[in-house]
Amino acid sequence: MLRTPDDRFASLPGYPYPPRYVAIADRELGELHMNHVDTGPADAAPVLLLHGQPTWSYLYRKVIAGLVARGHRCVAPDLIGYGRSDKPDDRFAYTFEAHVRWLRDFVETLDLRGVTLVCQDWGGPLGLAVLAALPERFARVVAANTILHTSDERLAGRLTWANHGIADGRVVLQEALVDYLAYTMRARDFEASTLVRFATTTDVPDEVLAAYDAPFPDEPHKTGVRQMTALLPLTRNDPGARIDRRTMEVLRTWDKPFLTAYSDGDPATAGWERVFQEEVPGAKGQPHVTIEGAGHFLQEDRGEELATVIADLIDATPA
């Protein structure tokens, strides 16, 4: 069990938050410790900010500042294997089911209620699966550049990056999606900052790029980051696809507010906003937004704007 040394997180630009750990009992690994940011009024309903691969809670620093200024409490965990959280060095410890279980235990241990879920990248499949298991704890959702891959045939023609089944047990996959998976598995030098630089539209300063790399000083600390790509559902038989289908079944009954806030520069997730808008009852009539001039990591490119979208939704939809 690894944990990145604290000195790696000293003086990161825009991120003054000390470590805060929640202990999670894992039936195979023993006790795990998940770090998180918890800032803003303690008596306010929490906004749960979930990152994906290969980032960590640092991604949300601009969003956190904007939400706290509007009087909201922000809770931003580092997934297991990321940020300051514990990092098992056995890649087989990281499964889709385990990530969901760890995150669910985090929500229950902190007893989060009235939650506004904000999810991007892998934060969507994981966070929405927790919502599906604990719907009474959640008040609303903001989905931002995220996916819920089921590989269902009905997704044909609806996504910019294809990922759907067809007849005779075949699948259609976007070449770029397969290239991305292969790169994270095969690249000798894999740095989080490389993907952040590639998937943003703004000129990210070197010191900020270094902050994204801070949790991952060597290859053993990157085990969870690399393995997460291997968990991406690419067929209808994938365990993750089955989890995503169960999640989607719950979302098709979800009538609480569900807002999409996708950027205009992220082909990897483009089309999913329309799927959610069409299939989630709570998305009907919501002021869905397209955040212009942002890439996949819209929190980095347009974090202040995303914070305004989230705060406006909370103000407009009191629980």
Question: What confidence tens digit (pLDDT) does each residue in 174-210 have?
Answer: 999 999 999 999 999 999 999 999 999 999 999 999 9
Q: Does residue 181 form part of some domain?
A: yes
CA–CA dist 164, 138 (Å, integer)? 29
pTM exceeds 0.85 for this model: yes
* Helix 239-251 × helix 123-133 angle, to 10°: 60
Q: Does residue 1 form part of some domain?
A: no
Q: Does residue 196 form part of some domain?
A: yes
- The residue whose two tokens read 């483009």 is 270
Q: What is the pLDDT of residue 279?
A: 98
Q: What is the pLDDT of residue 319?
A: 79
**Which residues are the active-site residues?**
121, 266, 296
Q: What is the mean pLDDT of each run of 10 residues along the chain (319 residues)?
A: 97 97 94 98 97 98 98 98 98 98 98 98 98 98 97 96 96 97 93 97 98 98 97 96 98 98 98 98 98 98 98 95
Structure tokens at 7: 């000195």
Q: Does residue 245 form part of some domain?
A: yes
Q: What is the pLDDT of residue 186?
A: 94
CA–CA dist 186, 183 (Å, integer)? 5
Structure tokens at 110: 């902190």
DSSP string covering 61-92: HHHHHHHHHTT-EEEEEPPTTSTTS-B-S-GG
Tell me the sheet residues that pair with 35. 21
Q: Does residue 185 form part of some domain?
A: yes
* CATH number of the domain residue 244 falls in: 3.40.50.1820
Q: Does residue 10 form part of some domain?
A: yes
Nearest to 228 by CA among 125, 115, 305: 125
Q: Does residue 297 form part of some domain?
A: yes
Where do runs of H (alpha helix) occur along the chain?
Answer: 61-69, 96-109, 123-133, 175-186, 192-198, 206-213, 223-230, 239-251, 272-279, 298-316
Q: What is the pLDDT of residue 76?
A: 98
Number of domains in the chain: 1
Domain limits for position 72? 6-316
DSSP state of 305: H
Q: Does residue 83 form part of some domain?
A: yes
